[in-house]
Each structure stands twice: as structure tokens, then as C-alpha cells.
Amino acid sequence: MNSTKIIIGLLLTFFVIACSNSTNTDLILNEKEYYEKQGVNYIVFTNWYNGSFGDEKMSGIEIIHHEVRTATNGDVRIHNTPEQWDAIPKFIERKVDSINSIIEASLIYEEYNFKYTIRSEAQGDAMLISVNIENPVPDALLGKAGFNLEFLPAEYFEKSYLADGIPGVFPLYPSGPMQINNDGFTEPKALASGATFTLAPESPERRITIESSIGDISLYDGRNKAQNGWYVLRTLIPANKTGKVVEWKITANTIDNWKKKPTIAYSQLGYHPNQPKVAVVEFDKTDKVAQNIQLLKLDENGNSTLVKSSKLIDWGKYLRYKYGKFDFSDVEEEGLYCIELGNQKTATFRIQKDIYNNAWQPSLDVYLPVQMDHMLINEAYRVWHGKSHMDDALQAPLNHEHFDLYAQGPSTDTPYKPGEHIPGLNVGGWYDAGDYDIRTQTQYHVITSMVEAWEDFGIDRDQTLVDQTRRYVDLHHPDGKVDILQQIEHGALALIAQHRSCGHAIPGIIVGNISQYTHLGDGVTMTDNLIYNSRMSELESNGFESGVFDDRWAFTSRSTALNYGSAAGLAASSRALKNHNTSLSNECLQTSINVWNEEHSKEPDIFRVGNTTGGNLLQEELKAAIELLICTNDQQYTKRILEIFNSKDLRFMFVSDLFLKVLPYMDENFKNELQKKVVEMIEEGKTFITENPYGVPITRGGWAGGGTVMRYAISNYKLHKAFPDLVDATATFNGLNFVLGCHPGSNVSFVSGIGTVSKKVGYGMNRADYSFIAGGVVPGVIVMPPDFPENKENWPFLWGENEYVIPMSSMYIYLVHAVNDLLNEE
């Protein structure tokens, strides 16, 4: 009897264990409010369109398939293939029923008073999606409103599909078919239609089946309208119907016992022998961290030698993954190395004393010259772009909110009327980013960053010919002049031109319509380079003017914050250019002083629309005061710096390193007070760098945080140099390692052309070619709410992840020199 009870007890125990270890094949709605099973997640309206920049492909219903986001923008749209600036609905509310695994999102197209609800519900291993309406589709939206779900082309290139069993292949390049719709616009026609679609039936990682119970599904190629378009599956909402008007059942294939492959993150460039060397390994949440990891050294015959082997140190959880760390700081022998974990090896990297000597050079030699506006940029047999925007610029219209966060107030604040040509603005400046505008706030940031690099590290490299008279730049062509000074000069010319022509700094210069803004390719073809003359017809030209209304617009509303920021950039430029271009140097300094005097003689001009009108007013004034003090040693600036330092309105964390520049001009009491504030700041900021295993602050916004990481690392360097006993240099090394590959989601270097594996597609002017610009730095990893880190290497068109922005490269140049300086400290 007792033996029978024991056997039964053992069987029950084994049964419980077996059940607890079984693979759950059903979708569940987890505590983070998204649906999951191993190998697939459905995110339902956790993310929302960014209204400032249009549709950024991060909204509505999204699918993460084997840890790759393959689908997005599951929502009702009024175009077959919506473009970036097409109409988007207004979000009303999101309701989550955790007990029944249901999420409902309510939205409205206010212009049409068209309200609807999208409902998601788990059904076994499938997802049910339905669109529900209380009133029929308005007549204006008949044949237009439909439920769309967009699929990332790069994940389905060279793959097939089945539409009701009829095969097709996803087009590698968009080639139609197109049609003219009833509104007179071109739009893609469907590639295929059917009640059931299976995408990539041959691929276990990407196979997904969608069945429609109400109406057919049609497949479109959004790239026929815009290079950043996705493949779109779409079901139209029928006329005169209410209640459930669209219903899809989505079943994503998942590979049995699938786990995310561990990501071994490290610096793709490599390491100096004396610096900290820590790799961070990212694991699937079901994986074990306590694994053996090895460092191998390679010889000239390709043979590898084991240098170090250890168990990974379990760091814990961050976002959706587990993390382990491998510290090999004690390995100092120069050579070529790789890391091995299980059956995977990393790409090779170096340990070398001169590792950082040329790691910054592509940013100065290639990227920044390529971004130079109003110049022809040549590289060997290639012309990057012609002498662009020589017709700059027309006065922007009044009371106008423009795209890309530009705006004009109720007056021009210049001597010019709306639409009138403002002479003298067609000089200097860099294309802001992957687009072509001259954003003043960005320009002066780059200038001050490069001046700091020039003053702190004495960079004297000469590899680029810059001829301002001929408006000609030739890469890889020394001209006997220091390149970084020529770049500072180019930026200063753009800033000083605004003061000459308008009397103050202006928010910037940008094209007047969306069709120009979406331009890809050579910037010289954005406009005809002839000044617009309204008295001429479009076909008229006299060689200097034309009747083509394509000139860029100058947004000129006064902003005291922006004027201070520009003054800071001009004052800094004056020091760097003193022996390079003396007359420009003198003009920059005098203009900066004039701005200071003028702004202090009146109430500040506050114009806060968009993000082109300067930063925080107090911070921008502080920057101007600091640069002017260094230039003049005038005590009026000292007085104002001390007032700002003691202001309760100052956000010290964002400007702490600025005060270090004026330490030579201040007394010992100031240094002591500054040190106290630094101690408090360090304590307050600990949580930002300890919440993740990378030791840097990783942001959660819609724009990836690589810039924040570099600013943090540079600030840490400066604080360490000023207070070495108080601030260690670890965060500076961490920041550079992060940019060079030691980050979540992947291990690619975010600096194109730097490191063994670096960004080979970037959101630059050449993004339509799926290419890159050497030395360009992308924003990096976006943490998509609630917990998914992403940076796509096969799709350049996600600007929040992959857009080159000019301050990133100037900061990168500084950061590399800072790390090199730390490693050469006595």
C-alpha cells in the first residue's frame, strides 16, 4: 500500500515537472501589455506616429518575428501605400482587458468625423484583428479607407508569397504597376489579391499567414511612391456597413524551441592595451547566462590561440533580455583577436597602442566635407554633389508652421517682405542631416564642438582642399591648410551671413514644399540655382534669375536663445580662425559682442515653435558668456556667469562641463562650489547608468540616444580632467565603446567605416542606394516601447535609428581624442 502511494506520488511529481517545462504554443498577453509566444510578439498601439516628422514606421499593430520587427502601422489608412506626410488618425484611447487577452484602440479621422476601433484578441497561436465602426464609412472615404499592415521589404527580398495559393515573388526593386486615381494622383495597383496570403512560405523565420473573413486582402509595393515605402497588405472597409467591417486572422510561424542567438557586443574598432575591455553578451530571456566564453588571438596563418577563458558574469535583466559580461582588461598584448561563445565567433578586432590615432579621420576627411552646402564636393572620380542652393533664400511667409519643425511668426523681423529674396545667405553651412536644410542651432553646435577639439587637442590634419572662392572641395587632396579650421570657417560663414543679411541669427533655411523636402540625391538638383523672380514665367531665365518658384525659404523670427547660441559659436570661431582668416575672426568676435550688448539692452525675444529656435534660454546665454569671457576677459561676462551659476532655474546636469572652461578665470571659491555641485550631480545620475549593463544613459525617446551617450562621455572626460580624484574616466571609455559596437540589439559600429563591422546603410543623401558616408555617425539603438532595442542594418530609411546628423560626427571626433588623451596621461 505504502509503495503504491509512493509510486503514484512520484508519477504526479514527474507530471507536474513535465507540464511546467512544456512549450506553450499559445499567445499570451503579458504584463507589459503585448502578445507573445516564443518567436513572435504582437505590439498593439503601444507606439504612435510622430506627428512632427510624419509616419516614421513605428505605430499601430506591429509584429516582432524571431526578434526582428517585420511589420508595423497596422491601422486604418486612407491610401493604399501611405507616404510619410499623408493623413494619420488621431489617437483617442487604448483599453486593455488582461483577463480575456483583448486590446482595443479607438481612433478618429477628425476631418471626416470617422471614428473606429481596432480590436486584437489572441486565439490559440493566432491573432485576431478586427476593425469596428458604429457609423458607415463617410462617402469621402469610400474606396479609400482600409485596414493596412506594412511589412519591411528588406526582410522579404528574394522571398515569395501565395495569394489564395497563386504564387508570386516580392519585387526586389519597385516596378509598378501604377494607376491614376479619381483624385488625379498616381498610386500603386495591387500586385496580388486574395482572401488568404502566406508570406515567405519557404522561410521558417518569416513565414506568416493572414486570412480575411470579410473582403479580400491586396498586396501593394509602397516603394513605387516613395523609396522608404514598405510592402502593404490592405483590406478596404465596405460601404454601408457597421459593426465588424474587417477581420484578419494572423498566424506567424515559429520555429520549435527557437531562441534568440546571443549577441556579443564589443568595440568593433578594438582597444588600447591599457584601457578597460569588457564585452557584454545579450541572451534570450529563456537562455542561460552561465556559459563559457573565450578570447582567441589570431596569427598570420589564421590559427587561433586561446588567451583567456571564463564563465560569463551574470549581470541580470534589462529590457527583454538577459545579460552577461566578459572582462578581459588584463589582456594587453597587441594583436588581432576575436571572442568565441558556443559555436559563434565575432569578427576580429585589434588590441593596439595606436588604435585611436586614425579612428576619427573619416569624419573629418569625408563626412563633414560631403555635407558642405554651397560647394561642389569632389572625391577622385566621383562628384558627391554640385554647388547647391546658390539661389538661397526667400523670406518665409508670416504666421506659418512648416514641416520639419520650422515656423515663421507674425513678422519677418528683417527688412524683407514675405517671398522676397534675401541676399547673402548662399554661403557656408552644412546639410543638417540626411536632409538638406541649414538648421542654425545644429550649425553652431558643430562649430563649438570643433573649436573645442582644435583647442584641446591641437588637431592639425590636412587631407582636404577647400577653396571658398571657387566654391570647390576636393577630398584626399592636401592644400597646406588645417582641415578642421577650414570646417570651422565654413560654419562661421553661414552664421555671420545671417547677421549681415538679417541683423540676427535666424532659425534656418529649408525648402518650401514637401516634394522638394523628400528629394534624394545630388543637392544641386533641388533648385535651379537661379534667384526666383515673380515677374518671370517658369520658362524664363536671364542666367541669374528665373520664374521657377523653387528657392529655399529663410525662417527669420527673432529668438534671443538662438541669438545667444549663434554668438557663442561666432566667439569660439574667432579664436580658432585668428591666424587662419583674420578678418573673419575679427568680424565674428565683434558680431558676438554686439549680439550680447543688444540682447542685454532689451527684454528677450521668446519664439518657441518647433525645435529650430535655440535651446534653453539660460543655457544659451551661459554659452555666449563663457565664449566671450575666454575671448575678452571682460568682467561683465564673469559677473553674468556667476549669476547663472547660482540661479535656481539652471539645469546644472546639462551644463556642468561648460563651467570647467572658465575655471582659469575664476577664484578658488568658485572651484569649490563647482565641485560640490558635481558631487551632487554624480549621485543623482547614478540610476541612469546602472539600469543597463553598458554603463551609459540609454534614452527611451523616438530618436535613438547615441548623441546623449557621446555628450555624457565627453562631459565625463572633462569632469575627470578637472577633478580626477572625484570623477573616474570609466564612462568616457563606455561611451566610445557603445558607439563602436558595445550596445543592445547588435554589435555593429554606429560610425560608418570605423571598425570591422560598421554601418553600411545610413540615412544620408545616398540612402536610396542603400549605401553610407564614411565617418557619418547614426543615432543608434531605439528602445521601442515597451522593451525592444532596434537598429536596422538592412533598411536605411528609419531616421530615428540611422540618420546621419552633423553634430554626431563633430562629437565623435572630440570623443576619440578624449579617450586617446586619457590613455596617454602621465
Q: Tell me: the pLDDT tens digits for 676-703?
A: 999 999 988 888 889 999 999 999 988 9
User: Does residue 21 carry a pLDDT above 80?
Assistant: no
pLDDT tens, residue by residue, 390-440: 999 999 999 999 999 999 999 999 999 999 999 999 999 999 999 999 999
Please compute the mean of the pLDDT values over residues 803-814 and round it to a whole number: 98
Does residue 315 contact residue 328 with C-beta atoms inside 8 Å?
no
Size of the chain, expressed as the number of residues it contains: 826
pLDDT band at 826 (very low <50, low <70, confident <90, very high): low
pLDDT band at 272 (very low <50, low <70, confident <90, very high): very high
* Joined grid coordinates for residue 747: 554589435
Place of cell 560608418: 752
Identity of the amino acid at 601 = S
**Residue-level pLDDT at 52:** 59
416 backbone dihedrals φ, ψ, rounded to 5°? -105, 150
* Joined grid coordinates for residue 219: 498586396
**Residue-level pLDDT at 2:** 45
Bridge partners (DSSP) listed for residue 305: 297
Does residue 631 contact residue 575 with C-beta atoms inside 8 Å?
yes
Residues 6+ apart with CB under 8 A from 276: 327, 329, 730, 733
The Cα–Cα gap between 66 and 459 comes to: 46
pLDDT exceeding 90 applies to what percent of the chain?
Answer: 92
* H-assigned helices in 226-296: none
The Cα–Cα gap between 209 and 214 comes to: 16
Pairing state of beta strands 208-212 and 196-199? Answer: antiparallel
pLDDT tens, residue by residue, 4-16: 433 333 333 333 3
Q: What is the mean pLDDT of the chain?
A: 95
The Cα–Cα gap between 336 and 352 comes to: 9
Q: What 3-state class would DSSP assign to 97?
A: strand
* CB burial readout 653-665, b (16+ within 10 A) else e: eebbbbbbbbeee
pLDDT band at 610 (very low <50, low <70, confident <90, very high): confident
Q: How far is CA 751 from CA 65, 354, 747, 759, 767, in A?
A: 27, 18, 12, 6, 15
Place of cell 573616474: 728
- Provide the Cα torsion 146, 152, 155, 161; round to 10°: 20
**611 DSSP assignment:** T
The Cα–Cα gap between 93 and 91 comes to: 6
Does residue 779 contact residue 699 with C-beta atoms inside 8 Å?
no
Q: What 3-state class would DSSP assign to 243?
A: strand
**Residue-level pLDDT at 15:** 33
Please compute the mean of the pLDDT values over residues 352-379 and round it to a whole number: 98
User: What does pTM read for this prediction?
Assistant: 0.95
Q: What 3-state class would DSSP assign to 206?
A: coil
HSE of 737 in the Cβ direction (CA atoms, 13 Å)?
Answer: 27
User: Does residue 30 carry a pLDDT above 90?
Assistant: yes
* Joined grid coordinates for residue 419: 517671398
**Residue-level pLDDT at 688:** 81
Does residue 295 contact residue 264 with C-beta atoms inside 8 Å?
no
**Residue-level pLDDT at 24:** 59
* Joined grid coordinates for residue 252: 506567424
Place of cell 562629437: 811
Does residue 45 contact residue 90 with C-beta atoms inside 8 Å?
no
Place of cell 546602472: 690
Q: How far apart are the first and last CA of the chain?
A: 81
pLDDT tens, residue by residue, 732-775: 999 999 999 999 999 999 999 999 999 999 999 999 999 999 99
Place of cell 563591422: 757
Q: What 3-state class would DSSP assign to 50?
A: strand
pLDDT exceeding 70 applies to what percent of the chain?
Answer: 96
pLDDT tens, residue by residue, 506-545: 999 999 999 999 999 999 999 999 999 999 999 999 999 9
pLDDT tens, residue by residue, 454-491: 999 999 999 999 999 999 999 999 999 999 999 999 99
pLDDT tens, residue by residue, 563-574: 999 999 999 999
312 backbone dihedrals φ, ψ, rounded to 5°? -65, 140
Does residue 574 contact residue 603 with C-beta atoms inside 8 Å?
no
* CB burial readout 700-717, b (16+ within 10 A) else e: eebbbbbbbbbbbbbbbb
* Joined grid coordinates for residue 322: 538577459
The Cα–Cα gap between 45 and 42 comes to: 10
**Residue-level pLDDT at 51:** 58
pLDDT tens, residue by residue, 124-179: 999 999 999 999 999 999 999 999 999 999 999 999 999 999 999 999 999 889 99
- Provide the Cα torsion 527, 530, 536, 538; round to 10°: -30
**660 DSSP assignment:** G
Please compute the mean of the pLDDT values over residues 378-401 and round it to a whole number: 98
Is the preceding omega at residue 393 within 30 degrees of 0, hence cis? yes
